[in-house]
Structure 1
Amino acid sequence: MKISLKISLAALISFAACWSTAQTVSTLRDTAISAADKAPEIQPYVGSKPGGHALIQRNYAQQPPLIPHKVDGFDEITSEDNACMDCHIHKEVRGQKIPQVKESHLMKPVNPDAPVLDNARWQCNSCHVPQIDAKPLVENVFKGNTAAKTK
């Protein structure tokens, strides 16, 4: 009796598994999947070479500064080689005043004559991003507080 119950239960489970896989696939929004979504078109970065642009206004307090220049042609950022630091570790480069890396990104104690980047902060493009001129993928009604002072 127990063997026949086990066989019946196994057959029922097998039937249920096969039936569920035979159902048509649909999305969570209950529409048929006709084609895969296309990736957005690659857009060029706004701006030109570093040093020729004003800083981009921040939209909220504590927002990381946005990159106002192209980064095409820069080497990949690694913990050993970081092209951003060629300019942003200094207060002035080739006669131009530029934003300097903040103390929160530097090793402690900070030596003003020879600052050293903290090893936990080497990947600049995790927070600081260049801008492109692209239509938003979804509607966005966010209104930033552009009057807020940020450091």
Structure 2
Amino acid sequence: MKRFAIGLACAALLVAAAAAAAQEHIATMRPATPLAENGTPAPMPKPVNSDIRQVRNYPEQPPLIPHTIEGYQIDKNSNKCLSCHSRTAIEVSQAPMVSITHFMNRDNQFLASVTPRRYFCNQCHVPQTDARPLVENDFVDVDEVLEYVKSKEGAK
């Protein structure tokens, strides 16, 4: 039993030493400020407020919000988004109407107004900012994938 305890303690020390050594080489998104100190935060990115619709990257992607929503109230009593995007407001606002799917309840029955499960818009729809990506990625739009597949089929 004593040997087991000594072996376990040695293993724990080895794991701790390896973790400490690896800690120096792990790249993180946190700046070089030590954990015990508060660093200077990065400036907040500016919201994109162009009102230009952006292309969706895949068929069922929720549309992105092309304007600022700062100060918008969206709670159980009020939804600022619907003041422009509701069925009755689009004639005046010229904003796109919320999708017909937002009027369907969980039993696929259509309601006269937006269903409660689709009422909180910013669960799915997000505004954009001028922030640079935190990490590089090689995301490929679905149209590029389809073009690639067609070109491979045509080469056969």
Give TM-score, length-normalised by structure 1: 0.64
1:47 corresponds to which residue? 49
2:63–2:125: 8 Å Cα contact kept in structure 1? Answer: yes
| Letter aligned with residue 25 of structure 2 | T
1:135 corresponds to which residue? 132
In structure 1, list runs of 5 or more residues that go unmatched. Answer: 1-5, 147-151
Say which of 45, 53, 56 aligns to 2:54. 56
Pairing 1:58-137 to 2, within 5 Å after superposition? 58-75=56-73, 77-93=74-90, 95-106=92-103, 107=105, 108-111=109-112, 115=113, 117-137=114-134
The 3-state SS of whatever aligns with 1:105 is helix
CA distance in structure 2 between the aligned counterparts of 1:139 and 1:15, rounded to whole angstroms = 40
| Letter aligned with residue 122 of structure 2 | N
In structure 2, list runs of 5 or more residues that go unmatched. Answer: 32-40, 145-156
| Letter aligned with residue 42 of structure 1 | M
2:69–2:127: 8 Å Cα contact kept in structure 1? Answer: yes
Say which of 16, 25, 29 aligns to 1:31. 25
CA distance in structure 1 between the aligned counterparts of 2:121 and 2:46, rounded to whole angstroms = 20
* Greater C-alpha Rg: 1
Higher relative contact order (CA 8 A, sep 6+): 1
Say which of 13, 36, 41 aligns to 2:8. 13
Deviations 1:117-148, CA, capped at 9 Å, x for gaps: 222222311221111123223334445339xx
1:3 corresponds to which residue? none
Q: 1 or 2, which has the higher helix percentage?
A: 2
Identity %: 32
The 3-state SS of whatever aligns with 1:61 is coil
The two structures, once aligned, show a CA RMSD in angstroms of: 3.2
CA distance in structure 1 between the aligned counterparts of 2:83 and 2:15, rounded to whole angstroms = 59
